[in-house]
Chain A
Amino acid sequence: MLEASRILFLAGFITAVFSLISVIISAYRKWFDKVTLISLTLVWLLVTFSLVLRTAATGHGPFTNMFEFGAAFTWGIITAGLFFWRQSRLRAVAVTSLLLAVALMIFALAQPAQAGYLVPALQQSTLLTVHVSAAIIAYGAFAVGFGVSLASLLPHADVKSIPASPDVLEKTAYQAVIIGFPFMTLTIILGSVWAEISWGRYWGWDPKETASLVTWLLYAGYLHARVIRGWRGKKLSVLLVVGFCAVLFTFFGNFFFRGLHSY
């Protein structure tokens, strides 16, 4: 089953590459939009089944090493990308989601994929599943926000594949953040509850905890700036690009910093 899971994931990767090419072609051939929709949906199905098989094989959610977390993060991005693309039909959403997904899939495929045994601290399957799932959904939504923000910073006249006004892109980014932010909040709260049960302290300024707080603060700052101060335009887009950089730093931080999350 583990091997089947990896094959499905690899197939998902190949399909994602095809889908990315398709969405770029759709800027010049409109009917490729349908091909993109079908292929993106296929990517989602392949990655989903890959994760389901892996869960069945290991007996726990796919969240315990960087291959699994990379695959799960990919799922989050594809899910959010598919959802927002169907809502908005913005090519920027599809392009950036697929670009990020492909990059993350390359990263995941490069990681050791053997299913290891769980260390004692991770043997709390309810909290493990809910805490990390919330993070995946948040990261996926933030990825969409990042993608459309990046697109809004590009000069539109030169980019045929991103035909949308800055206002529409900005509004889509906001909608992505108002989904991602509550889930990021839930991730931190559930993480604190689990840390209290497992390590005896709900907050310890562990590098991963601190990085996730920085991410949360950046998005909280974005929401305050937009809703209360009425910020619009490039300032907000830059903030969302920085915010997603913080997400990536939180995700990859385990490679650089020791801490209680370095499993």
Chain B
Amino acid sequence: MKIWNFITSLRLALILILIVVLLSVCSIFIVQVPHDIAAGSTDFYRWIDEFVRPNFGFWTDTLAFLGLFSVFHSPFFLLVVILLMLNILFCTVKRLPLVFATLRGAGIVSEPAAFPDQPLLRLNGTTAAALAMATTNTLLKKGWRVRETTLINGILVAADKHAFSRLGTLLSHLSLIFLVLGFFLSSLLGFSEDSFLVAEGTVREVGHGTGLSLGLITFGIEQWPDGTVKEYRSQVILYKENQPVDTAIIRVNYPLFYHGTKFYQSYYGSAPVIEVTDDASGAIAGGPVALVGTMADQENMRPVGRLVLPGTGLTAYIIGPALNTTDPVIGPGQVGVELYRDNTTAPSSWLLIDAGTSQENSGLVFSFPGTSYFSVFKVKNEPGIWIVWAAFILFTLGIVMAFFFPYRRIFIRLDQEEENVVVRYKSSGYSAFKGKDELTAFAEDILAKVPGKIVPDKE
């Protein structure tokens, strides 16, 4: 019983919320590993050594052990979230009987513990029964649910309003559980690929058992008068089992949906078209080379892409002009090519090629007809997304019900004392009237319906 009480306690909820808050704050101040690198993998440790250790030094290994570079994917965070969801679920279940009892009218069955000693007013010239009837009718007209109970010397009028708002709290809490369920469902049954790159004029398989392929027909950029990017769009064709099924223009805020698979425009870059041939074999390799990487020296950061030259023992790195400065080496309309022999770390050759020209090196001819683009999409399938949206709607509904239609209860006790009716009033929980003005208007409304007059208070 003690354990059940603890699991369903608000104290536990507040502690768990506090832990989530603290972990979230940590994640803001401590650099987090990129989404596409799994914590604990070889890439993770490479990332730690390259990006984290220079800044965190001695503390790096300790913080990594505590999972603070991957807070939201750590087992501890997962445990806290699961515990919080269980707490919410059990708390909600525990409060269900009270919610349904309130809906059935249990809130106005019994008399409250104590009325104020000082009566609200005394009326002369009417009876408790007449006043009770006027009160009940007025309340009913204002949308209250009313129950009259006969007392020894009078009548108790109990009323409540917006009992349905108790459901609001229930909905908003349950929706949090649905939200997490929706997320887990998508994680388990769906897929997400953050950097699905397609070069202009090429087609790429989506994979993940979808049977889909995406071809980038053309890519376009529109600019504002000041040269900044206004819009970039990808004209695509979608294939299912190699048959075209859809064409679309994908741009930011305008994704493509196809039977649960979604394609979002992410970013783009230049993709110089490089063709490599030799006299003996003809074409070795060719096509747009997406410059997705970067290489930096002290002053210049240049985009770079990789082109494998099969059968030659060579790999070519295609380098574009610097992104951050005027490049002193590679000008506009030029590309640099570094050739590496297999299993070496230093380039064996360097070429600088102008657009529309060719150069020979290492027995190969490198042609650079011009530059096209590559477009990067985020591709995903989220079976649980509809549960997430439903959770958002339910949560909003719950909040509106609970906050803007709060549950109200009032008790009016009418005691017949000889010729006078003594009126006492108590509201329970949220204030039944929005201040004295509304209570006064309510009282005046009732008093207008009965004979009699208010007896002044004795000095």
Contact = CB atoms under 8 A, between A and B. Distances in A.
Interface in B350-381: 378, 380
A57 B10 CA distance: 50
B229 interface: yes
Interface string B216-251: 000000001110111110000000000000000001
A200 B380 contact: yes
Secondary structure of the A contact surface, majority rule: helix
A229 B13 CA distance: 12
Interface residues on A, range: 35 or more
Interface stretch (B50-58, B310-318, B319-327, B393-401): B393-401
B392 A210 contact: no
B262 interface: yes
A200 B24 contact: no
Contact of B10 (A192, A214, A228): A228
Contacts of B228: 116-117, 119
Interface string A103-136: 0000000000000111111011000000000000
Interface in B1-55: 10, 13-14, 17-18, 20-21, 24-25, 27-28, 32, 35
A217 B392 contact: no
Contacts of A210: 24, 27-28
B399 A182 contact: yes
Given A123-B231, A205-B32, A186 B396 contact: yes
B108 interface: no
Contact of B17 (A118, A120, A217, A229): A217
B388 to A, nearest CB: 6
Q: Considering residues B10, B252, B380, which has the most beta carbons from chain A within 10 angstroms of its beta carbon?
A: B252
A220 B21 CA distance: 11
Contacts of B14: 221, 224-225
B253 A121 contact: yes
B28 A120 contact: no
Given A202-B388, A228-B10, A185 B395 contact: yes
Contacts of B251: 120
Contacts of B224: 117
B341 to A, nearest CB: 38
B229 A217 contact: no
A2 B169 CA distance: 46
B18 A199 contact: no
Contact of A198 (B10, B17, B226, B252): B252
Contact of A119 (B13, B72, B229): B229
A117 B399 contact: no
A178 B403 contact: yes
A189 interface: yes
Contact of A217 (B21, B192, B400, B403): B21
Nearest to B73: A205
A60 B134 CA distance: 55
Contacts of A202: 385, 388
A200 B231 contact: no
Interface in A177-204: 178, 181-182, 185-186, 189, 192-193, 196-202, 204
